[in-house]
Chains A and B, each alone.
Chain A
Amino acid sequence: MKFAYRRSATDDQIIEVDIVPVPERAGVYRVTVGERVFELAERLLHHAAAFCKEAGEMTLQFEGREYRLFDASQRRRSAPTRAGDLHAPMAGKIISVLVQPGEHVKAGATLLILEAMKMEQQITAPQDGVVTRLLCHEGDQVTAGTELVVLEPVAAV
């Protein structure tokens, strides 16, 4: 059985992992990662390690540390989002929309306020621009990653 993984969502490198049962040893598998071979007992997953996979994204806890890795079949994502990104950084409720379509905004201006678990998060303009589309309303519940505003950058004069 072969699997292919990326070490991070933005990683180009794909790592192939091959896993086969060890004959006559129930619950033990030989796993080949590149040059290295591991013999792993399934039992590990009940004690030292835990595994969870959701939508191509895997999390593993092993000896107290948490790891995140990705299916190679998942499209490689662009560089991680940063503060000021116009996607919802967390699931929550839009409690305030401070701009209107067509409005010119300065870099750093607060566009929206999102609230979750008693915490407010301001969504700010990453650069000077014009709000071309507003994709949410006050009171909307949004999930993490939802695009909230489309901002057309204004070229520096």
Chain B
Amino acid sequence: MQTLLVANRGEIAVRILRAARELGLRTVAVYSEADRDAPHTHLADEAYLLGPPEPAQSYLDSARLLDVARASGADAVHPGYGFLAENAAFAEDCRRAGLLYVGPSVEAIRQMGSKILSKQIAQRAGVPVVPSYHAPDAATLAQEGPEAAARLGYPVLVKASAGGGGKGMRMVERPSDLLPALEAGAREAQQAFGDATLMLEKYIPKPRHIEVQVLGDHCGQRLHLYERECSIQRRHQKIVEETPAPAVDPALRQRLASAALRLAAAVQYTNAGTVEFLVGAEGDVYFLEMNTRLQVEHPITELVTGIDIVHQQLRIARGEPLAFTQEHVQQRGHAIECRLYAENPAQGFLPATGRIHVLREPHGPGRRIDSGITLHQDITPYYDPILAKVITYGATRQEALQRMQALLREYTILGVTTNRQFLLDVMTSAAFAAGETDTAFLDRHFAGWQPAAEVSDEVLALAALGELVQRRGPFPAAPAATASAVLAAGLTTPWQRYDGWRIGGQT
């Protein structure tokens, strides 16, 4: 492996490009027309334009990516996360074109990419899955549903077989509510997915979302890098992750890790992957899915284990055996990650766009900022709204949390609406401090959240100061006499600016 093409954008492209350069590789970035000035574009040895901003014509265009690989002389491709990262056809195309694909085998991507097949494989490997009942058609479901639901035990979930994202999903607590729920669920599923097929699933109350990071090399060695707790989610997408998981004791940790390794072994998993589980209030464990790629939240694992997962991915891909064994992997201290998104938490987490006018990313001991943004950058509506990940480390959870609160207070970004203040409120809440993190955490504690920023007199005074300095222009404070003269002259200096100018930006 000499030259790595990173088929992604944003913070993860930056992260991977840096790791590749650290290992002495030549790097190739790709970018869309919307990302000409994005940080990842300028970090690589070479950068190639893919096409228009729309993902289908840029970061999802596998034919174009393979052309760039050929033209740039790349011999390896890292897909990052999202876009083509779990696309078996793309992995196969890369391998057919003679490129090393930094990820697992095409077969493993395919097997774990199927909701049904992955669960079958898990069950065969002795990994428990959420008990469920599937019927061939609606008539059978109506007939056998009540008995199946009783077998699963109430409450049960009625879910659309074809879908995700909560559409067509209903919780049923009593047998008498089952048939009406099946009728309404079928209507909703038909409307959302064009397929009215439903399934029943055991409802797991107050579940936690806990996942296990695994690594496998091409010599048959597989090991785990412990767990991550990712229960705090909005729209089924994680926003806060931590490790170790507050509710996992050593026995449960061992059960999760060995289940993850059994599944990884069943598909002869290579490279980095993540096995996701639901963990019930009683410590009952159910396999959800396996992500056959680098995970957004990989940094927290890196901080507590000291292992650079992207380095390991590249080493594994070029055929090196893992240089350490399971006994060498220690979980030390505590790490928390918050995902900074361009979105408005006070308005249903709707994505936000705009230009970054002020940006301060405060580094320091125990702080890591994986950022994909830069001052003056336009945040466009085309891609996932992640801007940066802020990660803190501490000897204890308390220390990591205190660092996170300070980091989120100091992190300054103006010009585009972000969830920074929402994250800060989550990080300073009593519920988070107590570790009460199940998947309903945000609904329970932060439904209807508003920024609650009453504009005080002091803030009005600061605004006037901001405007004054803005009008005067971005040069250092003049001597008092000169400043007065400027003021007396009604501030008509050549430095007057009224639009979009910022103070306090990074210099």
Contact = CB atoms under 8 A, between A and B. Distances in A.
Interface of A: 1, 3, 5, 7-8, 15, 17-27, 29, 31, 33-34, 36, 38, 40, 42, 44-46, 49-55, 58-69, 83, 89-93, 116-119, 121, 141, 143-144
B434 interface: no
Given A66-B451, A117-B351, A3 B467 contact: yes
B351 A68 contact: no
A15 B464 contact: no
A48 B503 CA distance: 12
Given A21-B484, A61-B412, A90-B352, A52 B357 contact: yes
Most buried by A among B382, B410, B465, B483: B465
B504 A46 contact: yes
A7 B360 contact: no
Contacts of A89: 347, 350
B503 A31 contact: no
Contacts of B479: 26
Interface string B483-507: 1100100010000001111111100
11 contacts: A15-B460, A20-B487, A33-B461, A45-B504, A59-B414, A60-B459, A61-B412, A61-B414, A91-B381, A92-B351, A144-B352
Contacts of A54: 357, 415, 499-500
Chain B interface SS verdict (over half)? mixed
B460 A33 contact: yes
B420 interface: yes
B501 to A, nearest CB: 7
Nearest to B358: A50
Interface of B: 235, 342-343, 347-348, 350-353, 357-358, 360, 381-385, 408-410, 412-415, 420-421, 424, 451, 453, 455, 457-470, 477-480, 483-484, 487, 491, 498-505
Given A19-B465, A49-B466, A53-B500, 10 more contacts: A20-B487, A26-B479, A31-B464, A59-B414, A59-B415, A65-B421, A66-B414, A117-B381, A117-B384, A143-B353
Contact of A53 (B421, B470, B480): B470
Contacts of B505: 50
A44 B459 CA distance: 12
Contact of B358 (A52, A63, A65): A52
A97 B500 CA distance: 34
A60 B461 CA distance: 11
Nearest to B406: A64
A26 B381 contact: no
B468 A19 contact: yes
Given A26-B483, A38-B458, A58 B466 contact: yes
B468 to A, nearest CB: 6
A50 B414 contact: yes
Nearest to A11: B455
Nearest to B235: A119
A44 B453 contact: no
Nearest to A30: B461
B304 to A, nearest CB: 26
A50 B462 CA distance: 9
B408 A64 contact: yes
Contacts of B459: 60, 62, 67, 69
A119 B351 contact: yes
B463 A50 contact: no
Contact of B466 (A60, A68, A92): A60
B468 A1 contact: yes
A25 B357 CA distance: 29
Nearest to B381: A116
Nearest to B413: A61
Given A31-B464, A33-B460, A63-B409, A51 B504 contact: yes
A110 B419 CA distance: 28
B466 A17 contact: no
Contacts of A64: 408-410, 421, 424
A40 B381 contact: no
A46 B491 CA distance: 22
A25 B477 CA distance: 10
Contact of B465 (A24, A34, A45, A141): A45
Contact of A17 (B383, B412, B461, B484): B461
Contact of B463 (A8, A25, A69): A69
Contacts of B235: 119
Nearest to A8: B455
A49 B461 CA distance: 12
Contacts of A92: 351, 381
